[in-house]
Structure 1
Amino acid sequence: MKHRHTAGRTRLRLNRWSWLLAALPFQAMGAETLGEVTVQASKQALVGIADTASEGSVSAEQLANRPLLRPAEVLEAVPGLIVTQHSGDGKANQYFLRGFNLDHGSDFATSVLGMPVNMVSHAHGQGYMDLNFLIPELVSGIQYRKGVYAVEDGDFSATGSARIDYQRALPSNFVELGAGQNGYRRALGAASMPLGGLTFLGAVEASSNNGPWEQPEHLGRTNAVLRLSSGTARDGYSISALAYEARWTATEHVPERAIASGEIGRYGALSPKDGGSTHRYSLSGEWAASGSQFGVDTATQASVYVIDYGLNLFSSPSGFINGPQGDQHEQADRRTVWGGQASRSWFLGPRLLDSELVLGGQLRRDEIGSVGLYDTVLRQRTDTVREDRIRQTATALYTALKTPWLPWLRSTLGLRHDQIRAEVTPLAGVFNMDNGGSATGRQTSPKLGVAFGPFSGTEYYANWGRGFHSNDARGATARVNPKDGTPVDAVPLMVRTQGSEIGVRTTLLPGWQSTLAVWRMDLDSELVFVGDEGVTEPRGASRRHGLEWSNSVALGRGFLLDADLALSQARFKTPVNGGDRVPNAIPRTASVALSYDQGGPWSGGLRLRYLGAYDLEETGQEKSSPFWMANLRLGYRFDRRVQLTLDVLNLFDRKANDIEYWGGACTRNELNAGACGGGTGIDGRLIHPLEPRTVRLGLRIGF
């Protein structure tokens, strides 16, 4: 089984944006800004509104008292979704949901300000979803769905989707300074103000961190947001410019036996100079308006975007199998992504049962100037395995009809048609020049949903739908293995998925809202492009099913309790490598979060998260170790402008592993002893430990 990784050295570079960080609060002083007031339903309070039992929303208030180790952990507010890391913190996180090891995002579609985050035909893996550019304090809300039941969701949405939006105006302008153990430093300045009938929002963030690793991480991140807006997200427009850069040195996952033997410490690394650098610059615009057409009310939405993205990622996932210089390689990606989407809803009135008709279209173009895999030693290229240029275009048309047939019965009927075209041009690589060409994939995906109720605050749902995920274009045009020239079979550009779900949403007691969903998902193939080797690895068709129970309880006096439980089973339909278990599919997760904020001096949040043992290989004989962990946040407001926060991450200092794999690797001592298995490595448990208990302080000063 193959795995993917990252790493790199970093210096914190403040000069480029430090002037703006310093200027933001002074620009805002004396300007009275009326913050936008947005009323959002909680993730369960959707009776009579939702189309499924497993959709919901998360508000900024729900995120405010949630302690975070990494920016992408805001997605853990989605019930059942787990965010981990197996390498440096400049690399995209590892995600798990509904019995899927989503790797770095392959089957969960995420957008920020209307822009897609998942990257197609990416150097490190299909669907690569790097959310490290998020600024959690700016998030106004997260709208999430699970399953393949919404016509608006296309590629990468087999398990679901999340739409993350930023605020248009801040309740108050502020500067926030943070410091903690292991060289953690963070500075954030954010301000909004009226500007010629519009609202301007600006934010600048700079942070650095070494982590607990024996090889310091030297993580340096710089981040900036500029936004002009008018009106609201439902009736108005916005223009947003984002800029993000990061550099880091990574400690990869390592063989557990290397720690047990004392060759390295628990937080030690096998290889120096793993890590990388990345950037993401974007410009986007969103517009929405209500009106009338043909005598009926309408709602129209449109958005456009352009993204400049780059990554250089240096990794040594197998250690020293190939010799004393190590197995480091570089994965490099340079691309421009542009596209947009538009939709219109017609509310047809009582003569047509108050139905809603939706029509929409989407376009995405990836201009990948260079995507490559290179052998390296200490970040210096020694050989080109493959380098390609890719042009990939995805288009979609969709429609949905939502009809309330009776006061207690409504339905949603949807149809979506997707087409993907890709052209791959080999640029370098001895054997890779025989690859390349064009590939096309098409699919029409029907969707059906029925809701019964509400009956005394309870509603029932049944949903079915088809969807897909795309494969890497290089796998769809492959003829030979780029490493050795052996023949390989090309794979389809699109792989069909099919899901079904039944569920209930109810108010058990006043203030206690609960949802229960039972689901099933079938995939025609588990094909994965393995960026470490430049090839597509077939893993067979699979079936998953499970149960999710999610609860939100308002306890009164500012206390809110969220409790979620997710159970799943993932199996190959035909045995693979002697078994039918899908590796790294987590069968049990649970979380309990208690928050308090009554608007007085004190606030806080405590979150406990459980990961059950999961199969590491197909026979199920090797399993990970289950564990609980807890994070704590305490806040104290000296007045309405000054607040101090204390985060204690991994509160009880659990000695567990963020991620575990099973695979071949070789340490330096094993290489010197001639015990590396004839070039294949030694199979065993590969781990990346949880970071130990970490304390961070934050001071926010409002203006």
Structure 2
Amino acid sequence: MVNHFTPNFLANMKAFTVKVRAPWKTYVRSLQSSCLLLATLSAASVVAQIPSVADVQAAKQADNSQAPLRGMVADASGARIGGASVRVLRTNGAALKTTFTKKDGEFSLALPEGDYQLVVSSPGFQIREVPLVVRDGRTTVSLSITLGLNPVNTTVQVHGREDDLGGIADSGTQGTVGAKEIENRPILRSGEVLESIPGVIITQHAGGGKANQYFLRGFNLDHGTDFAIFIDGMPLNLPSHAHGEGYSDMNTVIPELVQRVNYEKGPYYADVGNYGSAGSAHLEFFKTLPQNFAQVEGGMFGYGRFVFGASHKLGVGNLLYGGEAYHDNGPWTHPDNYYKFNGLLTYSQGSAESGFSMSARGYHGQWHSSDQIADNAVPLVGLFGTLNPTDGGHSQRYSLQSDWHRQSERSHTQITAYGFYYDLDLFSDFTYYLTDPNRGDQFEQNDRRWAAGLDAHHRIDGEWFGRKVENTFGLQVRNDWIHNGLFQSQGRVRVDKTDSGTGNTLPATTQADHFTDTQVGFYAENRIQWTDWFRSVVALRGDAQVFNVTSLITSANSGMTAKVLPSPKMSLIFSPGGKTELYAQAGFSFHSNDGRGTTLTIEPVSGDNPYPNTAATPIPALIPTKGGEFGLRTSALPHLKSTFSVWYLHSASELQQSGDTGGTTASQQPSERYGFEWANYYTPAEHVTVDLDLANSKALFTAPDTDDAAPGSPGGKRVPEAVGLVIASGVTLHDMHGLSSSLRLRLFGPRDLTSDGIYRSNYTAMLNGEVGYTFLRNWRASAEFLNVLDRRDHDIDYAYESRITPTATSAFTDVFHPVEPFQVRFWLRKSF
């Protein structure tokens, strides 16, 4: 592979990288002790925040030196609103104080000098944001704030899980995670930003540069099959991908530039089509930063990173730019040597109501890879070893997108357009010497594409027979021009191979195609506020998928396929009072299959099928899903926000095209999933938050599946690798005299690896911590402690047949990728 990095850059990266060599266990024990001590100190700091009587009196005296803030909240007619929430936010979005208006609509606060944002809200009214500057502690500031009526469910600025989404959300599993919450989470890899979504698990099974493995709601989602991800409205999922359908690479994301993550679960949302059955995540990036910053990081196992971001006025608009340079070897015997570079440039004008923006993004990464290994290979290569050190790959993605939006008194229009170029060259080896004992089983997957799309919607606000109504009409169009292929390789060189069972030749080119994948979706949604305590959302979505495939191997696999699928959706929201809402939902959705499989009539010659001219049956273009959910959201208890839901999801088939073999994978029969989710966010004190998210699910085929069973077994109904129990919990101390710290637990339970349940994984549990301190006003130092307990759990588990050496006997066994061991990373940030 060509080295694109200069010696100077490599030297600079090594300058701030901490390398640990044997005997590293001594360092581990020392660092673990330090971490536990820091966690104890953090807990002591939390206890110390419980105020004494003297503290309360001192605080009252201190308030006397702050600027008195008085205000009045009323509606458009002048009628005063009692019980309205008035939240004071710092410029970085962190909550400072909260109060409520009295019966006469008046409120009062005391604030020190500074810049703030007031967020004023009341059920049935639009949320109002008011900028506030306090400069003179002796002057009384008076405000008069008017709230407009909420038509039905107007989109508002929500900053994070601490916000009350009552009257806004359509379900108990819809929410928002803000930038401050993301910043306070220790993360190993950028994709773990999505673990801020309750119930989501992010893992990796082969090399840092490959897309993450996603788990949610009883799915092993592979790399994104039923989980839709959007970046400022641009879809991240890639249809008809060379490695796996819906492939979503979060390495393109710079976490520090993410303003919020909006999420929703289930097939109930009209604006989400393909891949949205289990859920969706919408990442919104900053248009202007609270503070410009530059940050340098270093850590164990060759880890180093530099990231920066800045924004400033440019003409009548704002310019934001940021970038990231990253390197990591990981704990592997053969280092990943993963390099990646990210860049973002955004120009924006206007406001959240009316304006436009343009963004350019670029990503480039290259890496070696220690793929998953069979359990019986550990004595041979070690826990962090590999059976093929030539695995790895490189990838890049460059995009340009624009957004235009306008809001009037009775309507709102938004149009997002995007285009991008993407390529991936990936070398993998999962069965080692099972097929060809001489040249091994490595294969190459190549994907190159251009893509362009449009997402437009128009909302009309009005009244029907005195009922407040919103009608929204949306159009989504996307086209991918794709060149991809599957090749036999040895040491990253394409070669013919010989099948050990039949003696047949496996050609170097297993599959190669040029094709287009076109998606068109249209939806109409109606929202009605029937009474003060009941509203409804009813929608109908229609999607069409068209594939036009040209096979470069055989014309028999060329052709065109088209499919149209309607998806009705409904949500009923009840507000009985007591800061509680109840939800009932039902809906249909789908995921698309690989376009190559829809025209496949001749099975590609591979290790799974070494026979030429074997007839194949085309797979369905779209796989429909349907589900229902009952949920609850409440903030009735002081400082506690909780949601609970029980859900069900039916998928018409688990059958899909396999990018690893060129054929199809089981199972043909339908599947059913059901479970519950319980999420809690507690703020017992100004600087302390506690969150606890619990989810559990079950995934079953409607009939026994023999293809995914252990050898000799008649099979069973369990869907292999489906996630069950998920627990995510953390305690965070933030912004207390410059000190912040967090301690987080992440656990997901045993998973069936075969349909009969004979092979099962163990629990995977990770405890991560972080301690940071702000000094000299604009400097911040932090340390992250990952896998504090140094557990030897597995990131991913499978069960299948493999052969670990040319002379070994093939074996059906557990195949896994271990979690990374205990490690420490440090970073230093300068804000300006």
Q: Same fold (TM over 0.5)?
A: yes
1:478-513 deviation line (CA, Å, top 9, x unaligned):
101111331111111011100100011112411101
Amino acid of the structure 1 residue aligned with 2:452:
W
Give the Å deviation of 1:134. 0.5
What residue number does 1:336 align with?
450
Amino acid of the structure 2 residue aligned with 1:419:
A
Determine if contact 1:313/1:330 at 8 Å carries over to the other structure: yes
Equivalent position to 2:345, from 226, 248, 251: 226
Determine if contact 1:114/1:303 at 8 Å carries over to the other structure: yes
Give the Å deviation of 1:133. 0.9
Determine if contact 2:462/2:469 at 8 Å carries over to the other structure: yes
| d(CA) in 2 for partners of 1:14, 1:463 | 58
What residue number does 2:493 align with?
380
| d(CA) in 1 for partners of 2:614, 2:385 | 37
| d(CA) in 1 for partners of 2:466, 2:356 | 31
Give the Å deviation of 1:519. 0.2
1:348 is the counterpart of 2:462: yes
What residue number does 2:380 align with?
263
Unaligned runs of 5+ residues in structure 2 are 13-114, 118-128, 132-156, 496-507, 606-610, 707-714
| d(CA) in 1 for partners of 2:293, 2:272 | 36
Q: How do residues 195-210 of structure 1 correspond to structure 2 at under 5 angstroms? A: 195-210=314-329
Determine if contact 2:764/2:795 at 8 Å carries over to the other structure: no
What residue number does 1:274 align with?
391
1:515 is the counterpart of 2:632: no
What residue number does 2:424 align with?
311
Amino acid of the structure 1 residue aligned with 2:652:
D
SS at structure 2 position matched to 1:503 = strand
| d(CA) in 1 for partners of 2:231, 2:354 | 19
Q: How do residues 282-293 of structure 1 correspond to structure 2 at under 5 angstroms? A: 282-292=399-409
1:250-275 deviation line (CA, Å, top 9, x unaligned):
0000001111xx21111000002100
Equivalent position to 1:596, from 725, 733, 743: 733
Equivalent position to 2:829, from 697, 700, 703: 700
Change (3 A) 1:10 1:258: farther
Give the Å deviation of 1:587. 1.2
Change (3 A) 1:232 1:536: farther
Give the Å deviation of 1:42. 2.1
What residue number does 1:114 align with?
233
| d(CA) in 2 for partners of 1:352, 1:279 | 54
Give the Å deviation of 1:107. 0.2
SS at structure 1 position matched to 2:468 = coil
What residue number does 1:23 align with?
none
1:55-79 deviation line (CA, Å, top 9, x unaligned):
1111111111100100010000110
SS at structure 2 position matched to 1:672 = coil
What residue number does 2:124 align with?
none
Bigger RCO (CA 8 Å, 6+ sep): 1
Amino acid of the structure 2 residue aligned with 1:629:
M
1:390 is the counterpart of 2:515: yes
Deviates more, 1:393-402 or 1:483-492: 483-492
What residue number does 2:618 align with?
490
Give the Å deviation of 1:230. 1.3
What residue number does 1:403 align with?
528
What residue number does 1:559 align with?
688
Determine if contact 2:619/2:656 at 8 Å carries over to the other structure: no
Amino acid of the structure 2 residue aligned with 1:509:
L
What residue number does 2:661 align with?
533
1:434-459 deviation line (CA, Å, top 9, x unaligned):
21211011011110110111421111
Deviates more, 1:432-441 or 1:196-205: 432-441
| d(CA) in 2 for partners of 1:92, 1:43 | 30
Determine if contact 2:162/2:641 at 8 Å carries over to the other structure: no
1:450 is the counterpart of 2:569: no
Give the Å deviation of 1:414. 0.3
1:74-117 deviation line (CA, Å, top 9, x unaligned):
00011000000001010000000000010001000001021111
Change (3 A) 1:105 1:557: same
1:661-682 deviation line (CA, Å, top 9, x unaligned):
10111112xx224x23xxxxx2
| d(CA) in 2 for partners of 1:128, 1:437 | 24
| d(CA) in 1 for partners of 2:782, 2:735 | 16
What residue number does 2:632 align with?
504
Give the Å deviation of 1:340. 1.0
| d(CA) in 2 for partners of 1:599, 1:195 | 35
What residue number does 2:755 align with?
618
Amino acid of the structure 2 residue aligned with 1:702:
S
Change (3 A) 1:192 1:34: farther
Amino acid of the structure 2 residue aligned with 1:374:
F
| d(CA) in 1 for partners of 2:327, 2:430 | 25
Amino acid of the structure 2 residue aligned with 1:312:
D
What residue number does 1:679 align with?
none
SS at structure 1 position matched to 2:403 = strand
1:689 is the counterpart of 2:826: no
SS at structure 2 position matched to 1:252 = coil
Determine if contact 2:516/2:548 at 8 Å carries over to the other structure: yes
What residue number does 1:479 align with?
601
RMSD: 2.0
SS at structure 1 position matched to 2:270 = coil
TM-score normalised per structure 1: 0.92
Change (3 A) 1:701 1:394: same
**Residues paired across the two proteins, number:** 665
| d(CA) in 2 for partners of 1:9, 1:81 | 36
Determine if contact 2:647/2:675 at 8 Å carries over to the other structure: yes
Change (3 A) 1:106 1:58: same
Change (3 A) 1:245 1:420: same
Give the Å deviation of 1:165. 1.0
Change (3 A) 1:464 1:44: farther
What residue number does 1:465 align with?
587
What residue number does 2:78 align with?
none
| d(CA) in 2 for partners of 1:204, 1:642 | 19
SS at structure 2 position matched to 1:555 = strand
What residue number does 1:27 align with?
none
Change (3 A) 1:406 1:57: same
1:256-315 deviation line (CA, Å, top 9, x unaligned):
1111xx2111100000210000000000001111015xxxx1011110000100000000
Change (3 A) 1:280 1:536: same
Equivalent position to 1:167, from 281, 286, 304: 286
Amino acid of the structure 1 residue aligned with 2:468:
D
| d(CA) in 2 for partners of 1:204, 1:525 | 42
| d(CA) in 2 for partners of 1:557, 1:34 | 17
What residue number does 2:189 align with?
70
Determine if contact 2:158/2:176 at 8 Å carries over to the other structure: no
Change (3 A) 1:334 1:684: same
Give the Å deviation of 1:614. 0.8
Give the Å deviation of 1:598. 2.8
What residue number does 2:355 align with?
236
Deviates more, 1:98-107 or 1:595-604: 595-604
Rg: which structure is higher?
Answer: 2
Give the Å deviation of 1:222. 0.7
| d(CA) in 2 for partners of 1:43, 1:495 | 37
SS at structure 2 position matched to 1:338 = strand
TM-score normalised per structure 2: 0.78
| d(CA) in 2 for partners of 1:324, 1:476 | 34
1:572 is the counterpart of 2:696: no
Determine if contact 2:364/2:397 at 8 Å carries over to the other structure: yes
Unaligned runs of 5+ residues in structure 1 are 1-7, 20-32, 677-681
Amino acid of the structure 1 residue aligned with 2:373:
V
Amino acid of the structure 1 residue aligned with 2:173:
S
1:109-162 deviation line (CA, Å, top 9, x unaligned):
001021111000000010001111100000000111100001001000110111
1:194-243 deviation line (CA, Å, top 9, x unaligned):
00111001111101110000001110001111010113344321100000
| d(CA) in 1 for partners of 2:790, 2:354 | 48
Determine if contact 2:399/2:421 at 8 Å carries over to the other structure: yes
